[in-house]
Amino acid sequence: MTGAKPALTSRLRLMGIAISLGAASMLASVPASARGPDGIADIAEKVIDSVVNISTSQSVDAKSGRDAMPQLPPGSPFEEFFDDFFKNRRGAVPKGGDKSGEMQPPRKTNSLGSGFIVDAAGVVVTNNHVIADADEINLIMNDGTKIKAELVGVDKKTDIAVLKFKPVKPVTAVKFGDSDKLRLGEWVIAIGNPFSLGGSVTAGIVSARNRDISQGPYDSYIQTDASINRGNSGGPLFNLEGEVVGVNTLIISPTGGSIGLGFAVPSKTVAAVVDQLRQFGELRRGWLGVRIQQVTEEIAESLNIKPARGALVAGIDDKGPAKPAGIEPGDVVVKFDGKDVKDPKDLSRVVADTAVGKEVDVVIIRKGNEETRKVTLGRLEDTEKVQQAAAKTKEDPVEKPVTQKALGLDLAALSKDLRTKYKIKESVKGVIITGVDGSSDAADKRLSAGDVIVEVAQEAVASAADIKKRVDQLKKDGKKSVLLLVSNGEGELRFVALGVQ
């Protein structure tokens, strides 16, 4: 029995050799195009001098401790090295003692990212988060030359920043390509500064386009499986023509390292932002002056729109360009300046990209019919409005209102007491919801006590009886759902479709 083991082991070794040879034969038979394009090395050699490492420094409170360390993934081989380095630099804490309470002067922290040169006169593009709050910005060229840079402008909504510097010798600049022409499966190349290791080249394919991952109002990311890690932020994503088709911005990863889910801001967005930052030092986006929401299948059925598409206008800014053009709540925008609008994100992006002051045609659907309105765009103000919370006051007892039930809702006429109880502005008209059946469609659509129904099926209502009458008629007409225009206490409107059968 003991002599069987070596024989078995020998057979397994032979099988292993056979499998290895078989695999090698299979690899040899795979076409070169399936293993990746042969020109990656040529392209990388051509453009790598245009890619820069970006080093920033910032003064911070000394008590922030480990915050100054590079943010490395847990278990990284560099983690222990940096841990020892920072401890030695600051001085070890004596046994039995704690220096955390001592007053220490502010210290400088460093961070690293990537960028690329778009103008040989000295213009660099990177991510805003790479240089945010930096006191000093330095560029490190591919040959090691270090040059101080100045900030030209940033756009937080797309996470893009533009820097300028004075070249000490001729530099290589790259051009933007057309990200709209990218195809799924197309090869792309990422170059950057992962984990502060210096210029690194990785390749992969375009996994998806127009990704919305809820990072900002204009999300339209290119997704790629080209290896992108911390430090690659702000670096370029190239096509096989050596053109920049995206700016590598973020990854999704439970480990902190690349798992093949990298995202880049498309060059079409970046190029427009860069042009405005260079020209004005800020973004000047178009503004339509509407609040919009998704056209769901239920809402589309209620509005006789097939298929469901467009952006539903839920509210109009009194001082916005849409109001004088005759656009109203309940209209569905399906085309803007000749471009199709499939959903609210499409409208947000195309409006923002349109020049301030330009007159455009806006195609809407109103009560089943298409109409065209001419709108002269205003300018979107990026300053955030700060709203002060109203002080809570003790509420007086309120007489129980007379209610009626419909659609799983308790409905009542708007009285002075109910306005006070639910803080409803005088400008808000309609029928107030005082209760919601927890098992109803209305509860699923997040209607709640204090909401006010302004319209039912695009007709104004003033009483619960009006609502019941409209709902009963819709049932007789065979409609599956009813479209409600609902306001909150501040007068902000939204559309909600509820089942009626």
> Alpha carbon of 76 to those of 110, 249, 256, 257, 378: distances in Å?
19, 21, 10, 9, 50
Furthest-apart CA pair in the chain: how many Å?
A: 98
To the query of whether residue 233 is one of the catalytic residues in this protein, the response is yes
Q: Which residue has the tokens 């002051």?
A: 357
The backbone region for 56, taken as left when phi is positive above 0, alpha when psi lies in -120 to 50, beta otherwise, is beta
The pair of three-digit structure tokens given for residue 340, joined into one six-digit string: 């199709």
Q: Is 384 left (phi over 0), alpha (psi -120 to 50) or beta?
A: beta
Q: Which of 129, 225, 353, 466 is catalytic?
A: 129
Query: Is 57 noted as a catalytic residue in this protein?
Result: no
Q: Which amino acid is at 397?
A: P
φ, ψ of residue 2 in degrees (nearest 5): -70, -25
Catalytic residue among 159, 331, 337, 451: 159
Q: Is the dihedral of CA 184, 188, 193, 197 positive or negative?
A: positive
Residues contacting residue 15 through CB under 8 Å, at least 6 positions apart: none
Identify the residue whose tokens are 């560029």. 139
Backbone angles phi, psi at 45, to 5 degrees: -65, -35
Contact 115, 139 (CB under 8 A): yes
What letter does residue 176 receive in the DSSP assignment? Answer: B
Number of helical (H) and strand (E) elements in the chain, helices listed first:
11, 27
Q: Where are the beta strands (DSSP E) in 299-416?
A: 311-316, 332-336, 339-340, 359-366, 369-376, 378-379, 404-406, 409-413
Q: Read out DSSP for 308-321?
A: --SEEEEEE-TTST
| 3 state DSSP class of 263 | strand
As a whole number of angstroms, the distance between CA 233 and CA 249 comes to: 5
Sign of CA dihedral 343, 345, 346, 348: positive
Out of 233, 302, 481, 487, which one is annotated catalytic? 233
Per DSSP (E only), the strands in 186-234 are 187-192, 200-211, 221-224
d(CA 341, CA 311): 7
Is residue 340 annotated as part of the catalytic site, yes or no?
no
Residue 366 corresponds to which amino acid? R
Amino acid (one-letter) located at 426: E
- How far apart CA 215 and CA 217 sit, in angstroms, is 7
Residues marked active site are found at: 129, 159, 233
